[in-house]
């Protein structure tokens, strides 16, 4: 393909992706304009202040938990899809992706409606006599985690399914004949051979959860994460330099994840 | 330990993949299941391994019924066509896999893996990864992995199918030697007739889920019981005719275009329709003038319509004058006795009564 064909896409990315990123990076290191000289104070504040460090930790921790739960839920689903679903596999894939097709606002409000003080879950628990006063689900981060897993688990399932599809069943048969039962065969053959899929899915979910904003804003129960903080810096504090610094940190985290993912995929290519 | 298949059969939906099959493999011997794809040989192997459940019948190893045991409890070894080495383990861990599952301690694992690798001449390869090895080496690792646990029965599923021809030939000998050395009861599944004939003590020819013939390689090759066996194992010239009389092991057969005499081992009644088979390398070719017409000479005259040089012999294609049938004759230099017919030349073909076989219906 002639190099010229990539020009439209290249120009588009330059104008709407690279230029804003460059400006953002510029704002964060020249807080007082280029004439004011380089100042890394925004970054210093982010990494030195225990509050901001805590927010960074919470952001990464929340994403980690969401990714881990997605892996635990996603693996059995992927296994069922690849090994047992047969001709229903396409239908299952569609059902899995369906949540992604609804608007994020709708989905998030849906969770609020379900989990609020006067919501469906509380009403149900009360009518069943399990509780006598409503539980404040939305006061903590767990509804946000549930909502993140809800929307991100398809990425996990699809990436595990792809790697599970590539596992030669005869390897499992060989393992069985060598004296390994079903569980040992899964733990020593199937799971290790699909760890790259789990890793890819994990990184994907982790990355997407890191950047999620609306879910945390509406369901976070007061949990502070970087995207929320960036929003505040822009809208309330109007400290563009600090907001820029935080978004750059988030960006670097995402790039690191992508690099890790690329490594995982390359390794699979060598081994297979 | 001996292996017995007691009437196992299997259907997949409406397809009868395996008719009730009875087969016993004496302890320490190697049986080759031979047949085209879809003949049921792989299904048989998978039933022995426990990957498929037979609809009826039993699998006995050393007299014990294994039919309801999980594959991991059957004490079997298996070599797969594509080797099926664990790609995430090095050679040592691959071979050690079965020993570790059996709970052997570290020292025993190490010494037995070393011993198995030495047997397949791969000492010093323990730290390699399967992806760094050639097909032949991977095949030997797979073999080491399957024998290191001292299985009761070894299953070989097209074990040499993925290797090139020269390597395949030397591996045939190597595998056979090892199998004899370890005195291990073995079932070999293959569609390669040469492989089965070379390696097996007994060849079982299968077709359409049925066992057609079981016997020593030379017996099956020389005395095929049916047209399918005669044609699947090498090439055969098939002549149709009627058995007109039989006495004392000699059957007079009236073929289209000639009267022939054929030797049989037992008694055969006169039949209206029979087929006889003669191997191309058993054909004798002479100058057309040398036919005497004596009974038992079994001579036909024809014309050379094709000839090919095949290294150790020359393959002739001859059209029989009276019937137009195409017949093959493979003649080694010494068998041609200086007679080198060319394309279009008239020749006479004959075969002895001992070299022809009457095929069952």
What percent of chain A has pLDDT above 70?
97
Q: What is the mean pLDDT of residues A233-252?
A: 88
Asked whether B133 and B125 are in contact (CB, 8 A), the reply is yes
B130 in reach of chain A (CB within 8 A): no
A104: nearest Cα among A217, A242, A13: A217
Count H helices and E strands in chain B, helices first: 9, 20
The residue of chain B nearest to residue A192, with distances taken between CA atoms, is B88
What is the reported pLDDT for A271?
A: 46
φ/ψ of residue B58, rounded to 5: -130, 155
Beta-ladder partners of B278: B237, B356
Cα(B4)–Cα(B146) distance, integer angstroms: 20
Q: Does A192 touch chain B (CB under 8 A)?
A: yes
The pLDDT value given to residue B168:
86
Bridge partners for B23 per DSSP: B5
C-beta of residue B50 within 8 angstroms of C-beta of residue B220: no
Tell me which chain A residue has its CA closest to the CA of residue B150. A178
Strand partners, B254: B242, B259
Q: How far is B177 from chain A (nearest CA, A)?
A: 23
Does residue A269 have a pLDDT over 70?
Answer: no
Top pLDDT among B274 and A153 is at A153
* Cα gap A263→B328, rounded to integer Å: 60
Give me the pLDDT at residue A268, please: 55
State the smallest CA–CA distance between residue A206 and chain B in angstroms.
26
Q: Please say if the pLDDT value at position B242 is more than 90.
A: no
B280 touches chain A (CB under 8 A): no
The pair phi, psi for residue B70, each rounded to 5°, is -70, 155
Question: Cβ contact (<8 Å) for A178 and B149?
Answer: yes
Task: Identify the CA nearest to B211 among candidates B1, B7, B4.
Answer: B7
Q: A160 pLDDT exceeds 80?
A: yes
- Distance to chain B for A170, nearest Cα, Å: 6
- Kindly state the DSSP code that residue B52 receives in the 8-state scheme: S
Q: How far apart are the C-alpha atoms of A155 and A139, rounded to whole Å?
A: 28
Would you say residue B106 has pLDDT above 60? yes
Cα dihedral B326→B332→B338→B342 (10° resolution): 30
pLDDT in tens, A34-54: 777 788 888 888 888 899 889
> Which residue segments constitute the domains of chain B, with CATH numbers given?
3-231 (3.40.50.300), 235-358 (2.40.50.100)
What's the mean pLDDT in A192-214?
Answer: 91
Chain B residues with beta carbon closer than 8 angstroms to that of A168: 82, 84
Mean pLDDT within B200-208:
92
Provide the mean pLDDT of chain A.
88
B70 vs A176: CA distance, rounded Å: 8
Higher-confidence residue of B100 and B310: namely B100
Locate the domains of chain A by residue range. 41-271
| Residue whose C-alpha is closest to residue B277's, from B315, B222, B206 | B222
Q: Tell me how far apart the alpha carbons of residues A160 and A79 are, in angstroms, rounded to a whole number.
A: 8
* ipTM of predicted complex: 0.82
The CATH number assigned to the domain with range A41-271 reads: 1.10.3720.10
Using pLDDT thresholds of 50, 70 and 90, give the confidence band for residue B265.
low
Nearest to A170 among B74, B84, B88 (CB): B84
Indicate yes or no: CB of A178 within 8 angstroms of CB of B86: no
In this predicted structure, the answer to whether residue B291 has a pLDDT above a threshold of 90 is no
Residue B361 has pLDDT above 60, yes or no: no
């Amino acid at each position: 393909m002639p190099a010229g064909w990539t020009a439209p896409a290249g120009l588009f990315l330059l104008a709407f992706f690279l230029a804003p990123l460059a400006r953002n990076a510029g704002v964060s290191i020249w807080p007082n304009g280029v004439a004011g000289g380089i100042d890394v104070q925004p970054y210093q504040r982010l990494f030195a202040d225990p509050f901001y460090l805590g927010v960074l930790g919470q952001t990464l921790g929340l994403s980690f938990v969401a990714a881990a739960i997605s892996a635990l839920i996603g693996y059995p689903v992927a296994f069922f899809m690849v090994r047992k679903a047969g001709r229903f596999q396409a239908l299952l894939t569609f059902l899995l992706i369906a949540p992604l097709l609804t608007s994020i606002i709708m989905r998030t409000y849906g969770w609020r409606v379900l989990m609020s003080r006067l919501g469906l879950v509380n009403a149900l628990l009360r009518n069943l006599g399990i509780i006598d006063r409503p539980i404040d689900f939305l006061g903590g981060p767990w509804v946000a985690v549930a909502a993140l897993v809800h929307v991100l688990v398809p990425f996990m399932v699809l990436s595990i399914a792809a790697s599970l599809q590539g596992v030669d069943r005869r390897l499992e048969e060989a393992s069985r004949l060598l004296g390994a039962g079903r569980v040992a065969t899964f733990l020593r053959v199937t799971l290790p051979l699909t760890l790259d899929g789990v890793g890819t899915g994990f990184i994907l979910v982790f990355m997407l959860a890191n950047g999620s904003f609306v879910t945390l804003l509406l369901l976070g129960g007061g949990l502070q994460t970087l995207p929320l903080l960036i929003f505040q810096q822009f809208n309330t504090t109007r400290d563009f330099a600090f907001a820029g610094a935080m978004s750059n940190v988030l960006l670097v985290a995402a790039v690191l994840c992508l690099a890790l993912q690329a490594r995982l995929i390359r390794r699979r290519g060598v081994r297979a | 330990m001996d292996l017995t298949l007691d009437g196992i059969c299997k259907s997949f939906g409406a397809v009868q993949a395996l008719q009730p099959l009875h087969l016993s493999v004496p302890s320490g011997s190697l049986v080759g299941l031979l047949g085209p794809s879809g003949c049921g040989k792989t299904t048989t192997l998978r039933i022995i391994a426990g990957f498929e459940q037979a609809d009826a019948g039993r699998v006995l190893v050393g007299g014990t019924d294994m039919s309801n045991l999980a594959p991991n409890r059957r004490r079997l070894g298996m070599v797969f066509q594509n080797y099926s080495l664990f790609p995430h383990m090095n050679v040592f861990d691959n071979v050690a896999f079965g020993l570790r599952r059996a709970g052997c301690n570290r020292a025993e694992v190490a010494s037995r893996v070393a011993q198995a690798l030495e047997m397949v001449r791969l000492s010093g390869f323990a730290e390699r990864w399967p992806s760094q090895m050639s097909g032949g080496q991977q095949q030997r690792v797979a073999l080491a992995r399957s024998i290191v646990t001292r299985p009761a029965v070894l299953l070989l599923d097209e074990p040499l199918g993925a290797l090139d021809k020269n390597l395949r030939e030397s591996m045939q000998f190597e595998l056979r030697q090892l199998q004899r050395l370890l005195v291990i009861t073995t079932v070999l599944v293959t569609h390669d007739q040469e492989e089965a004939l070379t390696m097996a003590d007994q060849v079982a020819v299968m077709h359409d889920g049925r066992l057609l013939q079981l016997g020593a390689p030379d017996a099956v090759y020389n005395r095929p019981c049916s047209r399918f066996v005669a044609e699947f194992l090498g090439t055969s010239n098939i002549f149709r005719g009627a058995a007109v009389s039989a006495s004392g092991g000699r059957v007079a057969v009236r073929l289209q275009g000639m009267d022939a005499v054929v030797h049989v081992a037992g008694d055969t009644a006169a039949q209206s329709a029979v087929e006889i088979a003669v191997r191309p390398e058993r054909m004798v070719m002479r100058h057309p003038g040398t036919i005497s017409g004596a009974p038992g000479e079994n001579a036909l005259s024809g014309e050379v319509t094709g000839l090919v040089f095949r290294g150790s012999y020359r393959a002739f294609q001859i059209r029989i004058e009276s019937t137009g049938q195409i017949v093959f004759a493979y003649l080694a230099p010494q068998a041609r006795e200086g007679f080198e017919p060319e394309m279009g030349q008239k020749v006479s073909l004959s075969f002895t009564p001992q070299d022809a076989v009457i095929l069952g219906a």
